[in-house]
Amino acid sequence: MSALSPPLPLRPGETLGILGGGQLGRMLALAAGRLGFDVAVLERDADSPAGRVAAHVIVGAYDDPEALKALAARARVVTYEFENVPAQAVQTLQQLGVEVAPGPEALAVAQDRITEKQFLNAAGAPTVAFRGADTPDEAVAAAEAMGAPVLMKTRREGYDGKGQRWIEHARDAAEVFRALGGRPVILEAPADFTRELSIIAARGRDGATAIYPLAENHHEGGILRRTLAPAIVSTALAEQAERIAVRVLEGLGYVGVIGIELFELADGRLLVNEIAPRVHNSGHWTQDGCSVDQFEQQVRAVCGWPLGPTMPHARIEMLNLLGDEVDQWARLAHDPDSRLHLYGKRVAQSGRKMGHVNKLRPL
């Protein structure tokens, strides 16, 4: 990459870098291709879903200095498909003159659940009550102070229900702490919610925002199973969610697409469960429900392009295909109201996300 490279926006024919080669990276790469960009993927697996649709594949660890140099030589703008990117990787790329979006502040907030909750509350985005614990004794004390049941999660990592356990009795907190690896944890009060919602929002480099309608989510075993969007909600609830999204985006100085998971309470209030500084599973409905989906929106935002419209043109029921459910592809392909999205993963392990199907419904 030359020091004389022109400023943003990134022009068609240039290269966008992506850290991570999974399904989100694959769908980002496909969206970037539609806009005329080449894509360079940095991924440890030489045969990754994203790598197989990219123009360039760099095989290496995400914090490998030589791999990052190779990525910087290809791409002057880099984004990522998952929030556990090592902070050092972002710093190295920035030192090499690469634009990385979303920025390091969003990563720092999303990678630590206590930091995340503190940020959200400070930004005026309410959450459940919480406490941190670094030792078994602290975990017991926190559970006693909050009152069981409480949900214990590792402060870092964990997804799709992993790295978390419910505590029914405070005295069990020490045992659960050890079962989660003896690492620092957060204890969260239960949310007496009526349903789980999410909102996908984007912020461009010029500060403009674009917000998709709310989606209603249904989980099984900690994994998102089904999304209905646009969700049937009141104007007041939609406006409340949009206010939360704008506060989060502006509070982080964010560039890119973000997923914000929400709990709707019986009294109509919304609590933020967590944020994901990336495209999000619950936003897959936009691929067939909106003219500009979340993946193209991410590419537009990080490359300095104008954000696209977010108005829906159909109601979508998105179903995740887990494990060998992907074998239903032939039947689903026959359905005129279904749009099939498969991730190209080689092995269909139980509970593994292998693809999704968007079923079209009238608005």
> What would the pLDDT profile of 313-327 be if each residue is shown by its tens digit?
999 999 999 999 999
d(CA 309, CA 296): 11
The answer to whether position 2 is within a domain reads no
Range of the domain at 339: 193-361
195, 198, 191: which is closest to 260 by C-alpha? Answer: 198
Residue 347 shares a structural domain with residue 198: yes
Residue 339 shares a structural domain with residue 324: yes
Res 5: pLDDT: 55
**For residue 89, pLDDT beyond 90:** yes
Residue 269 shares a structural domain with residue 355: yes
**For residue 1, pLDDT beyond 70:** no
CATH code, domain with 164:
3.30.1490.20
Question: What sign does the dihedral 264-270-274-278 (CA atoms) show?
Answer: positive
**For residue 6, pLDDT beyond 80:** no
Per-residue confidence at 4, pLDDT binned at 50, 70, 90?
very low
CB proximity list for 88: less than 8 A, separation 6 or greater: 63
- The answer to whether the pTM exceeds 0.85 is yes
Residue 274 shares a structural domain with residue 221: yes
CB proximity list for 170: less than 8 A, separation 6 or greater: 140, 143, 144, 147, 148
Which tokens go with 325?
Answer: 């459910």
CB-based contact 21:43 (threshold 8 Å): yes
Residue 260 shares a structural domain with residue 180: no
**For residue 168, pLDDT beyond 70:** yes
Res 160: pLDDT: 60
